[in-house]
Chain A
């Protein structure tokens, strides 16, 4: 059996729910492939994984995979994840969100999960648009671009999700694109093995909504755009700011150590029980 067939048999749910909801050519499928390969390589058992999502196209992802899966309310996935992780720290908790999920309605939860250093991996599929609801502009829609709710053009500035995660205190932040699938595999594997709050931002295309209203072409053309505009983080220092203006910096942006919430809380428990430190 080929490697991919083994992974399909091991990780996809057989009982139900295929074909999936995503449009042909969608980037989420590529990201799901990376997620499965990275989980397989990182050595976790399926029973140990809790995969949590919010609402939107990315929110439908957990239903297809054979883990403990939890499809929550819009933007709130990280709050449920916080509860699961603290109640049972032996579980590996992975959260999948979209850009609207993570930095619009769930923006507050995102920065606080990062600040607390909850031991959870957040994977954010950033396609610059609300896809499922029909192409409304999101906090990551670039200035000047079109959507179905910027009837003329977008006059807001876009959030940079990875940079926001860095500032909020995430201990691991990596960014990739669905064109660079092998990089995504390795970013996710590193994130899964990192204790503390880790973030992988996945730049993806939504040719159905964002691409259509902005005349950016097919899925293939939008992935070619990713290829042409991605700059590895190692090269950034050699480039001028103006050269970087329309570029996506990919790779590991932060990898640092900070006390992890559940370990710190264990110290509180010992102290409260009258043990260490008295």
Chain B
């Protein structure tokens, strides 16, 4: 029996994470506590920093030196990380940030479950930027998405956020580990050219330049300023535009490699529940019970929250003319569903922000109301 936070640790170690810097915050502390024991066992490094700003700074530094790195926090700490998150995006430094959500704003609800950081994960740092955000509704998924998070961050040279709720983080359930040989691990692509030919921020067809680690003979400049292909600050409009466009393109042209979802009984569904995290568990139960009553209902369980999976919504609205989006926030994903819905489906919400979970009967009631 493992809890979600423990599965994240196992996934991180399997993916090759060898550096963790963090600051204590419930409900994410187990990740720090376990890694403080396990990382030195595998030759890695754990350090508790003076705050969350410092934690992400250290993670970015370690990644630039060539070590896969991670931090873990909750909403208030994640707010402090937004500054350096933007740095990791503009400097294209792979790293993984776990946000175990609790109710907000501010100190909010330590530590009742919530899903209210969905938009913080998307837009928390300033400026136009791409981001990858993954979530999980089972302990095994926590493991899988953590491996995925490291793979995607290395592949696209972009921070990846693991956004889970407190229920999944602390819930214990049986989990079977995959065969180690079957777990696919992706490492950043290094330059193959000699240092004098290396162009650190070169535009490539994939949109992701090769990454040299510090100390390997490729001396180059890394900056949070908008930079040219050599990494030097620029204010030339003919360099700024293509650079910002490439940052977005490297993610947007690879949506199929990033976007993941589970479709549960959606093939013939007239009503589809769109949920994620612990709410998807309640929704699955509600779907089963509604099916027993003869109602054709399905579940779209989102695993990738950002970039938002427009194709999944388009798929379910082929049969479903009613979409129900239950969330433990005021409607952060339902707004996205409404945005991508071309007017063919009715989008209904079910929001709960009192620090308790959305139960199967609550979702079932909503289904009964509309069926």
Contacts and interface: CB of A to CB of B under 8 A. Distances in A.
Nearest to A68: B214
B65 A91 contact: yes
Interface stretch (B46-54, B112-120, B328-336): B46-54
A83 B41 contact: no
B175 interface: no
A-B pairs with lowest CB-CB distance, top 3: A83-B61, A79-B57, A83-B58
B59 interface: yes
A48 B50 contact: no
B64 A84 contact: yes
Given A70-B64, A72-B87, A272-B37, A112 B50 contact: yes
Given A67-B219, A88-B66, A72 B45 contact: no
Given A69-B222, A73-B84, A108-B50, A83 B63 contact: yes
Interface string B218-231: 01111111000010
14 contacts: A16-B230, A46-B219, A70-B61, A80-B57, A82-B54, A82-B57, A83-B62, A84-B61, A86-B58, A86-B62, A91-B65, A109-B54, A269-B41, A273-B40
A63 B87 contact: no
A66 B221 CA distance: 9
Contacts of B57: 72-73, 76, 79-80, 82-83, 109
A237 interface: no
B178 interface: no
A146 B273 CA distance: 63
Interface of B: 18-19, 21, 37, 40-41, 43, 45, 47, 49-51, 53-67, 69, 83-84, 87, 213-217, 219-225, 230, 232-233
A16 B232 contact: yes
A83 B230 contact: no
Nearest to A83: B61
B65 A69 contact: no
B228 to A, nearest CB: 8
Interface of A: 15-17, 46-48, 50, 52, 62-63, 66-73, 76, 79-88, 90-91, 108-109, 112, 265, 268-269, 271-273
Nearest to A262: B45
Contacts of A268: 40
A271 B36 CA distance: 13
Contact of A47 (B21, B53, B215, B222): B215
Contacts of A82: 21, 47, 49, 54, 57-58, 61
Contacts of A46: 219
Contact of A15 (B53, B64, B223, B230): B230
Contacts of B224: 71-73
Given A16-B230, A62-B221, A63-B232, A90 B215 contact: yes
B84 A87 contact: no
Nearest to A92: B215
Given A46-B219, A50-B214, A76-B57, A83 B40 contact: no
Nearest to A86: B45
A113 to B, nearest CB: 9
A219 to B, nearest CB: 25
A141 B57 CA distance: 28
B33 to A, nearest CB: 14
A88 B64 CA distance: 10
Contacts of B54: 76, 79, 82, 108-109, 112
Given A69-B219, A71-B221, A109-B50, A83 B59 contact: yes
A91 B61 contact: no
A260 B128 CA distance: 41
A73 B90 CA distance: 12
Given A63-B223, A87-B66, A88-B66, A76 B232 contact: no
Nearest to B95: A83
A83 B57 CA distance: 7
A82 B18 CA distance: 15
B40 to A, nearest CB: 4
Contacts of B45: 86-87, 265
